[in-house]
Amino acid sequence: MTTAAIIVAAGRGTRAGGDLPKQWQDLRGETVAARTLAAFAALPCIDRIVLVLHPDDMDRAAAFPGATAVAGGATRDASVRAGLESLVDSGVTRVLIHDVARPLVPARVVTAVLDSLDTHDGAAPALEITDALWRGAAGRVTGTEDRSGLYRAQTPQGFRFDAILAAHRAHPGGAADDVEVARAAGLAVAIVPGDERNLKITRPEDFARAAQFLETPMDIRTGNGFDVHAFEPGDHVILCGIRIPHDRALKGHSDADVGMHTITDAIYGALAEGDIGRHFPPSDPQWKGAASHIFLEHAVGLCAARGFRIANVDLTLICERPKIGPHAAAMQAELARIMALDPNRISVKATTSERLGFTGREEGIAALATVTVIGG
């Protein structure tokens, strides 16, 4: 499967104001076109990018070495057609057609369109209309319209390449978008969820809205945690909140749950909030024998208070015994409950150290964890 993105940038965009077509105007330090191209260039699922330019703008192609520049036509249809024709015999099987004026398209929207092409000829993002719809004339409301079943269409609109090429070749012209061209050829087009960030810059005030979205980008942070607890005489260990019978116990100030401590430290790490010892000093007698879910709940709460949500947790326990495998699902479920997370965002796995080192000699258990948090 080879996927191309055609970025349609041949319009003159006069409604946005300014001396230049909107795609060449500045949006927080980069042109609109540069931001749109970068959004697609960052996606591993896109193999080729075609940039359709106005014939007068062909010298701008040098700024986009990762894209193939093609001269557009007099209408949007003609420009898309030129982009499609440039891909004939290229081996491309799927194509996304995108307005250059939508620079903030989220990766999630692009992948949803591509996923939908597995089962449909075409797919495109859209948002349901939630405002009331009016008709108006001369500044007065002349009627209302039923909004049910109405959508605001976005791009990229995705198609199987041969099907949309044939549809464009057969179309007489004048279509509002490529979905209209596809439907005229009898193709079924699925609707996938669009995104408010994926706005089309049309009027001067749209630059301000897009800039506002850019001010609050997604803030993704990763933290790691590492912890070790030694064995002492006993008859069970507690790992990730699960009591496991064993011929030794883990030694520690609290319940010595090395798995939960490690995840807790990884969360503090992602937030640059120090470690478990800073929030729960071992010198403080109130934490003696404490159940470790108290620490984990504190870290999760701090995460939420700082405006972050936990995207995933990956924990590795290192020991020869006890065997973790039979208990991993229970640990995952218990962590999910404590952290109020979907269990499929929590990985609990284990390894031995091939009888090497302190874990190999069964002197204790080590654990490491990676946690990703998302804010903004």
List residues near Mg ion by CB under 5 A: 227, 261
**CB-nearer residue toward Mg ion: 158 or 225:** 225
Q: Least distance in Å: CB of 253 to Mg ion?
A: 8
In our burial notation (b when 16+ CB lie closer than 10 A, e otherwise), range 110-149 reads bebbbebbeebbbbbbbeeeeeeeeeeeeeeeeeeeeeee
Beta bridge pairs of residue 168? none
Q: Which one, 99 or 257, has the nearer CB to Mg ion?
A: 257
Question: Is the backbone peptide bond immediately before 125 cis, with ω within 30 degrees of 0?
Answer: no
Nearest approach in angstroms of CB 269 to Mg ion is 14
- Nearest approach, Cβ of 311 to Mg ion (angstroms)? 24
Residues 226/367, Cβ–Cβ less than 8 Å: yes
Residue number, nearest CB to Mg ion: 261
Rounded to whole angstroms, how far apart are CA atoms 5 and 149? Answer: 29
- CB 365 to Mg ion: min, Å: 10
From 365, 372, 370, 371, select the one nearest 227 (Cα to Cα).
365
* Nearest residue (CB) to Mg ion, 207 versus 295: 295
Q: What is the largest CA-CA distance in the chain?
A: 87
Q: Which is nearer to Mg ion, 198 or 292 (CB)?
A: 292
Tokens 């478990």, located at residue: 276
Q: In the beta sheet, which residues pair with residue 137?
A: 140
DSSP state of 173: S
Place of tokens 């007068």: 56
Question: Do you know the residue count of the chain?
Answer: 376
Compare residues 48 and 261 and give the one whose CB is closer to Mg ion. Answer: 261
Structure-block tokens of residue 254: 């609290």
Least Å from the CB of residue 357 to Mg ion? 18
Interatomic CA distance for residues 228 and 358, integer angstroms = 10
Least gap, CB of 317 to Mg ion (angstroms) = 13
Task: Identify which of residues 102 and 293 has a Cβ nearer to Mg ion in the complex.
Answer: 293
Cα distances (Å, whole numbers) of residue 283 to 23, 239, 254, 275, 278? 61, 23, 11, 15, 11
Q: Is residue 171 within a helix (H) or strand (E), and if so which, with residue range?
A: none
Select 8 or 371, whichever has its Cβ closest to Mg ion: 371
State the nearest-atom distance from the C-beta of 261 to Mg ion, in Å.
Answer: 4
